[in-house]
Amino acid sequence: MNSTVSTAALSAPAGARLFLAMLSHIRHGHLELITPCNTRMVFGDAHAPSGATLKLHDWRACQRILRAGDIGFAEAYAAGWADTPDLTALLRLALRNEASLEQLMFGGALARCWYRLLHWLRPNTRQGSQRNIHAHYDIGNDFYRLWLDPSWTYSSALFDGDYSLPLQTAQQRKYQRIIDTLQLRPGQRVLEIGCGWGGFAEQAALQGIHVHGVTISPSQLEVAQRRVQARGLTELVQLELCDYRDLQGEYDAVVSIEMFEAVGEQYWPQFFRTVQARLKPGAQALVQSITIGEQYFPRYRSSADFIQQYIFPGGMLPSVERFERLAGRCGLRPVERHAFGRDYAETLRRWDAQCRQHQHQIAGLGFDEHFMRIWEMYFAYCEAAFDEGRTDVVQFLLQKA
């Protein structure tokens, strides 16, 4: 450090000095830090092509990050204590330096225990699932309408490397791949667990496929039913509020698109047994799920991150290995998988751009700046994880034994 940097560090509060000392361990890329007194400090290799900037408006941000890691940073960012011109770049830099920035990433032991306890207190029982889903999906259809594509799809699109595609086209491509992979034909009956706002049901029904879709979100069901009625598909599509554990009957196929993340690890066996029971003998299911690398899973499981705390209470990502192993034990043989995590990063960039474009309308719905900054963090946090290969999104094709 030069004398200017040393003077700035010495004049900082004790927590901030510890924070600055930890940043000196950056080995990959570089971080430009701007302190509350406008002193510029560079950590890491200043000549490295990958870099990011962090502007501290309040030294309290340092203590919050030291205490609670990514959750603390999200809180400091939402409070306006910290800022950056490129949030995704900052988070990618953090991921690349995770080994040397452990406390800044994961926080202190007491905070980790506390947030893990909060996560455990949000189990996905029937009643708990309703509370957890309500906390995210029932905040208002008017909000989601502003930034989702016209198909109302809230899951990864499938670009297949063609990022010139409109988002709606890429979402329809994803739905069609599911239909084609399952070799669905007119007249067949498909169960969709977690039908969302009805995007898949509509596309399948337009091809003569019968769809029984279930959700536990009243807001989603309202839009989905309205869409089905508007397209004249009521004879082909049945949508209802129903927990997947209460389903009966057999179907030619089962589809579930990014609902598995909301099941909760404790209930994964019950989910797979339900899918197996609802399939006709020899029939197949396609489950699309976000996954986390197996090497990161043990630590992820033993703590709770920003997403679980602020975005998806009760949520839990599987690794590919654990997903397929447990599915097999429950009578569902893994047949193939298709991973397209880079496409999820692009999907998130599109959603974030739409949110920013409509920020005045969103504010008009009663959502304040704190809410918007939490959602900016949510999009950037997930985008960085997909781009860095920390997480992926996979379509698993499973066959009933």
Give the three-class secondary structure for 308.
helix
Could you say which of 195, 330, 355, 382 is catalytic? Answer: 382
Structure tokens at 52: 């990011």
Number of residues in the chain: 401
- DSSP for 66-135, written as a single string: HHHHHHHHHHHHHTTSEE-S-HHHHHHHHHHTGGG-HHHHH--HHHHHHHHHHHHTS--SHHHHHHHHHH
Q: Is 342 exposed, middle or buried (0-12, 13-18, 19+ CB in 10 A)?
A: middle
Phi-psi sector, 115: left (phi>0), alpha (psi -120 to 50), beta: alpha
Phi-psi sector, 194: left (phi>0), alpha (psi -120 to 50), beta: left
Cα 145 to Cα 363: distance, rounded to the nearest angstrom:
14
Which of these, 364, 370, 283, lies nearest to 79 by C-alpha position? 370
Residue 330 is a catalytic residue: no
Residues annotated as catalytic are 382
